[in-house]
């Protein structure tokens, strides 16, 4: 199957990253079939031009039937549970949904004879490593069950690819933030930094900054923030890659980030400038396990996928959430 005119099954297409990816795939000329159980996604986020199916990606019989009837050429697997704190409280839920159900999906994909697969992984697989820039060849060292589930399915995906004609890419997203013209952050509870800062600026409620004495330029922790539209573009680039020459099997893990460290204080300043409001910052002690710096090495994304971030500067991310 050549890439032009391909039909893509997109799991989790009613979610934040999934819906933006659906828009980007459609804009690139693909046909899109969304599969989402709507447990956390929003049906109105699914673009009208996509075909939508309500259901679980772990239902292998139904998925296999859908793969045949919709004549799917490639799968983009964005569906997952993704709240770190919830994963610590309910690890069994996270392993069932993120690992077992994903393996069921992968089995259905292989049974249907599809050999192109893109997986939404996470920088959570790295844990709290001291490297200046996190490269894909670092050994995984997750510090929470959510990260562990991403590692587990990456290992399964790599093993399937090595034993068959599967062509697979795992995209390790760093801190996805911002809005597209149509899709914005709607998490419950909201755990992401930038929308929490915007809420603090607009409500006057205090914002708790955990740790201001790290060995970083301003004492606050450095993180890598990547714009939602850049992540969606990375998914499209990965689809093109796995469909480009489907006769060649293989597996690749690829970081998707800005490649730039933004401190919490820099994010606070960006929100204050953009909203013209002052945030009531309350400095708290460091949280156990929080590393001072987590920044992506994104050179593989450029060399393998021809992708680079275009909208991931922190002020641009903030302003996209205000428009």
* 284 part of a folded domain: no
Rounded Cα gap, residues 61 and 23, in angstroms:
27
In order of 38, 44, 81, 91, 289, the CA distances from 87 in angstroms are: 19, 27, 8, 5, 16
Question: Which one, of 51, 56, 48, 54, lies nearest residue 77 by Cα?
Answer: 56
List the catalytic residue out of 57, 94, 126, 146: 146
Model confidence at 185, pLDDT cuts 50, 70, 90, reads confident
Clarify whether 146 is annotated catalytic: yes
What share of the chain in percent tops pLDDT 90?
Answer: 89
* 181 part of a folded domain: no
Rounded Cα gap, residues 76 and 238, in angstroms:
9
* 152 part of a folded domain: yes
* 91 part of a folded domain: yes
Q: Which two tokens stand for residue 283?
A: 């400095």
Model confidence at 190, pLDDT cuts 50, 70, 90, reads confident
Total domains present in the chain = 1
Q: Which domain holds residue 134?
A: 7-176+226-257+295-310
Query: What does the pLDDT read at residue 188?
Result: 67
* 272 part of a folded domain: no
* 22 part of a folded domain: yes
Q: Which two tokens stand for residue 110?
A: 């292989």
What's the mean pLDDT in 57-64? 96
* 43 part of a folded domain: yes
pLDDT tens for each residue of 215-260:
999 999 999 999 999 999 999 999 999 998 655 679 999 999 999 9
- Above 80 in pLDDT, residue 2? no
Domain with 94 in it: what CATH number?
3.40.50.720
3-state SS assignment for residue 152? helix
What's the mean pLDDT in 178-191? 83
* 318 part of a folded domain: no
Question: Which one, of 157, 78, 58, 149, lies nearest residue 120 by Cα?
Answer: 78
- Above 90 in pLDDT, residue 203? yes
Maximum alpha-carbon separation in the chain: 57
């Amino acid at each position: 199957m050549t890439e032009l005119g391909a039909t893509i099954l997109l799991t989790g297409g009613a979610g934040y990253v999934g819906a933006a990816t659906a828009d980007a795939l459609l804009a690139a000329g693909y046909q899109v079939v969304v599969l989402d159980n709507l447990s956390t996604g929003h049906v109105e986020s699914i673009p009208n031009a996509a075909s939508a199916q309500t259901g679980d990606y772990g239902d292998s019989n139904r998925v296999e039937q859908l793969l045949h009837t919709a004549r799917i050429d490639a799968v983009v697997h964005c569906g997952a549970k993704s709240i770190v704190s919830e994963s610590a409280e309910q690890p069994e839920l996270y392993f069932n949904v993120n690992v077992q159900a994903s393996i069921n999906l992968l089995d259905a994909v292989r049974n249907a004879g599809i050999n192109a697969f893109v997986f939404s992984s996470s920088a959570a697989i790295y844990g709290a490593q001291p490297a200046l820039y996190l490269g894909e060849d670092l050994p995984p060292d997750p510090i929470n069950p959510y990260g562990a589930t991403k590692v587990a399915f990456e290992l399964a995906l790599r093993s399937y690819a090595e034993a068959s004609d599967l062509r697979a890419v795992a995209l390790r997203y760093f801190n996805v933030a911002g809005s597209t013209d149509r899709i914005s952050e709607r998490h419950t509870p909201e755990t992401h930094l930038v929308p929490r800062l915007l809420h603090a600026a607009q409500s006057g409620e205090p914002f708790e900054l955990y740790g201001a004495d790290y060995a970083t330029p301003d004492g606050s922790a450095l993180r890598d923030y990547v714009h939602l539209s850049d992540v969606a573009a990375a998914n499209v680039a990965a689809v093109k890659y796995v469909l480009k020459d489907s006769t060649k099997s293989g597996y690749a893990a690829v970081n998707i980030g800005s490649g730039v460290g933004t401190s919490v204080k820099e994010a606070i300043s960006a929100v204050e400038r953009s909203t013209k409001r002052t945030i009531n910052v309350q400095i708290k002690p460091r949280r156990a396990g929080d590393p001072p710096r987590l920044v992506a090495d994104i050179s593989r994304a450029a060399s393998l996928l021809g992708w680079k971030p275009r909208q991931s500067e922190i002020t641009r991310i903030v302003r996209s959430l205000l428009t």
